[in-house]
């Protein structure tokens, strides 16, 4: 049985034969068309899906197809039409007759022959086979057509994917934001041949959506960067996407409720707007417009979505880079400003330091002269016979002399400091012992020790080896330290002075030292002040007490003693430092000052 719905074209001028064939094929449910002339045969052939043609060779072929200029011969010409330009039949044929030796048959390749008189079973079998064959051929052709289409579609997608990956690679290498946006719209517009492609970014301050870059097919758009849309006010596809944070596709903008027509883009027919999301943060949109309706295939949309995501990341990177650049420029500016401020402060400090030095120098010179006069006259007065007799008169004269002496010491300290600062301290080294230094000093202070009820203990001083040093200068060091020990120790306290000999081998060279420690049972020094007390003019004493005695408990001082002592010790290639458990006027933890001096001075 032929396939259901098989259409058969029966070409014959013999009504008897037509009837006969219809009768036979009626049993197999085929639809038979038996046109009377060429015109109706042609229209039947064009309008219906004909599977097979049955040709009565006896009545149809009267002349060769070249001479088909009358209607008699048109049916034979039709046979000619059933073949394609390669001479292959487009449908199969069954030829009925007894003489198959006709020139027209040369054009027919798929032919079966049924002799007269027709044997019904033979005809039905041939029809069945050929219809089936034709059906299969059509299905095969359809498959082949579909495959070709798919191949075409696939190569188009492939090209677009390549383009999108090219674009993505390219845009990732651009860090300048404006340049990047411009490149992206231009690449998408030209590579995908869209009408207008634009990027809009949302302002974080105002929330307005601003056109940043646009690329129009074949020219410049009147829509210029800087053009703004306001969400909630302007109804457009772009504001819709920014508000709903999801893509929007209008395949035909004429029918779209959100489309905002603009004179600047008169040819827009379809619009696809994609959100630019980077890490859940909507930065703006990429808007693609086409001058054809229904142009955005779902696959295109997918590719463009991927491209939009990559664009968002590239924009984010570029803006981060921009921010970092901006921040580093700001930082550099701040650093420069700070450096200039510091330079200025430094310059002012140097000026101040210089002023101070100048001041001390002038002060010491200017004070020394009148002081010599005061001293000289005071001594003169003291030796006057009236003063010798009158103890009431002697008292103020002695006071003037003590004051002048204190003043003299102060000026000397300032001059020493000046020399240390300007590195012009000259040492006059001689061989001496620590005992040589201490004996006269302690002799002068014995009265103070008595009045302040201070106990002085010396240990291992006389056994110390001799050293090379400047007697006067080292005398000043010990004088400052012992005076401080007295000054910061309450009455009834104790002062220990002890020494030891130290040596070490350094690169086979023997290095020898004496270390002298002056320990007191005074108020102590806090850990954070142990170093700072050696700086110039540093004093914890009450400034208002500066005129008080130099050995009075917590008596004031100019804050020069330790810094002069350090200057002198270091000029002797030695070291000076302080140790103390802490500062406490109630418990008096005490302090120890150490002086380390080399036995010999390297020249």
The torsion angles phi and psi of 442, rounded to 5 degrees, stand at -65, -30
Residue with tokens 């199969």: 92
**Cβ at position 589, least distance to ligand ADP in Å:** 10
Tell me if 274 sits within 8 A of 244, measured CB to CB.
no
Q: Does 485 bind ligand ADP (CB under 6 A)?
A: yes
Closest to ligand ADP by CB, 221 or 540: 540
Where does residue 456 rank: exposed (0-12), middle (13-18), buried (19+ CB within 10 A)? Answer: middle
186 vs 214: CA distance, rounded Å: 7
Q: Does 567 bind ligand ADP (CB under 6 A)?
A: no
**Cβ at position 557, least distance to ligand ADP in Å:** 2
Q: Give the side-chain half-sphere CA count within 13 A for 495.
A: 25
**Cβ at position 474, least distance to ligand ADP in Å:** 16
Sheet arrangement for strand 575-579? 455-459, 494-506, 509-520, 591-598, 575-579
Q: Does 522 bind ligand ADP (CB under 6 A)?
A: yes
Backbone angle region of 493, left / alpha / beta, with phi > 0 → left and psi within -120 to 50 → alpha: beta
Closest to ligand ADP by CB, 313 or 407: 407
Select from 18-26, 271-279, 418-426, 519-527 the region that touches ligand ADP (CB under 6 A). 519-527
**Cβ at position 328, least distance to ligand ADP in Å:** 45
Tell me if 55 sits within 8 A of 113, measured CB to CB.
no
**Cβ at position 390, least distance to ligand ADP in Å:** 36
Closest to ligand ADP by CB, 116 or 541: 541
CA of residue 192 relative to chain centroid, distance: 33
Select from 163-171, 242-250, 262-270, 518-526 the region that touches ligand ADP (CB under 6 A). 518-526
Chain residue at closest Cβ approach to ligand ADP? 557
For residues 114 to 153, the per-residue mask of contacts with ligand ADP, x marking binding by CB under 6 A and - elsewhere, is ----------------------------------------
- Which residue in 64, 403, 559, 589 binds ligand ADP (CB under 6 A)? 559
Closest to ligand ADP by CB, 38 or 525: 525
Where does residue 395 rank: exposed (0-12), middle (13-18), buried (19+ CB within 10 A)? Answer: exposed
Residue with tokens 């696959």: 299
Residues 441-480 that bind ligand ADP (CB under 6 A): 480
96 vs 27: CA distance, rounded Å: 19
Q: Does 591 bind ligand ADP (CB under 6 A)?
A: yes
Q: Does 540 bind ligand ADP (CB under 6 A)?
A: yes
- Which residue in 520, 521, 595, 597 binds ligand ADP (CB under 6 A)? 520
303 vs 163: CA distance, rounded Å: 10
Q: Does 526 bind ligand ADP (CB under 6 A)?
A: no
What DSSP string describes 428-462?
--EEE-HHHHHHHHHHHHHHHHHHTT-EEEEES-T
Q: Does 592 bind ligand ADP (CB under 6 A)?
A: no
Binding-site ranges for ligand ADP (CB under 6 A):
480, 484-485, 488, 520, 522-523, 525, 533, 538-541, 557-563, 591
């Amino acid at each position: 049985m032929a396939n259901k719905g098989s259409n058969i074209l029966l070409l014959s001028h013999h009504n008897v034969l037509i009837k006969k064939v219809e009768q036979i094929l009626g049993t197999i449910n085929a639809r038979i068309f038996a046109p009377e002339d060429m015109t109706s045969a042609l229209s039947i052939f064009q309008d219906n899906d004909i599977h097979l043609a049955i040709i009565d060779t006896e009545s149809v072929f009267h002349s060769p197809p070249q001479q088909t200029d009358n209607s008699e011969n048109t049916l034979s010409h039709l046979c000619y039409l059933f073949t394609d330009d390669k001479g292959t039949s487009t449908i199969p044929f069954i030829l009925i007759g007894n003489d198959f030796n006709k020139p027209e048959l040369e054009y027919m390749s798929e032919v079966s022959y049924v002799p007269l008189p027709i044997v019904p079973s033979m005809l039905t079998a041939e029809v069945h086979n050929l219809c089936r064959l034709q059906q299969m051929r059509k299905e095969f052709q359809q498959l082949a057509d579909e495959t070709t289409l798919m191949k075409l579609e696939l190569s188009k997608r492939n090209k677009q994917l390549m383009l999108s990956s090219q674009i993505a690679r390219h845009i990732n290498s651009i860090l300048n934001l404006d340049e990047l946006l411009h490149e992206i719209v231009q690449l998408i517009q030209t590579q995908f041949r869209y009408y207008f492609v634009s990027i809009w970014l949302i302002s974080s301050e105002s929330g307005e959506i601003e056109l940043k870059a646009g690329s129009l097919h074949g020219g410049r758009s009147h829509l210029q960067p800087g053009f703004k849309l306001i969400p909630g006010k302007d109804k457009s596809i772009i504001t819709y996407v920014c508000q709903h944070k999801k893509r929007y596709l209008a395949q035909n903008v004429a029918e779209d409720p959100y489309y905002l027509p603009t004179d600047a883009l008169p040819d827009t027919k379809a619009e696809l707007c994609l959100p630019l999301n980077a890490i859940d943060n909507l930065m703006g949109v990429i808007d693609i417009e086409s001058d054809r309706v229904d142009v955005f295939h779902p696959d295109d949309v997918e590719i463009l979505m991927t491209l939009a995501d990559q664009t968002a990341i590239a924009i984010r990177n570029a803006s981060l880079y921009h921010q970092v650049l901006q921040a580093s420029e700001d930082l550099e500016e701040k650093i420069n400003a700070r450096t200039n401020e510091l330079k200025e402060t430094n310059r002012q400090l140097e000026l101040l330091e210089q002023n101070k030095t100048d001041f001390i120098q002038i002060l010491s010179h200017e004070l020394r002269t009148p002081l010599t006069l005061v001293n000289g006259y005071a001594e003169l007065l003291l030796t006057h016979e009236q003063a010798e007799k009158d103890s009431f008169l002697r008292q103020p004269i002695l006071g003037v002399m003590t004051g002048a002496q204190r003043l003299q010491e102060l000026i000397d300290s300032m001059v020493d400091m000046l020399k240390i600062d300007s590195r012009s301290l000259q040492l006059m080294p001689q061989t001496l012992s620590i005992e040589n230094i201490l004996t006269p000093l302690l002799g002068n202070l014995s009265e103070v020790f008595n009045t302040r009820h201070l106990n002085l203990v010396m240990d291992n001083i006389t056994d110390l080896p001799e050293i090379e040093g400047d007697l006067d200068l080292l005398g000043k060091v010990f004088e400052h330290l012992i005076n401080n020990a007295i000054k910061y120790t309450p009455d009834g306290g104790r002062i220990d002075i002890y020494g030891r000999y130290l040596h070490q081998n350094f690169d086979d060279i023997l290095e020898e030292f004496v270390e002298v420690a002056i320990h007191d049972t005074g108020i102590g020094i806090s850990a954070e002040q142990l170093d700072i007390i050696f700086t110039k003019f540093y004093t914890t004493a009450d400034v208002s007490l500066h005129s008080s005695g130099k050995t009075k408990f917590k008596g004031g001082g100019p804050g020069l003693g330790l810094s002069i002592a350090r200057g002198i010790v270091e000029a002797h290639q030695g070291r000076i430092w302080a140790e103390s458990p802490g500062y406490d006027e109630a418990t008096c933890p005490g302090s120890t000052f150490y002086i380390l001096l080399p036995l010999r001075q390297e020249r």
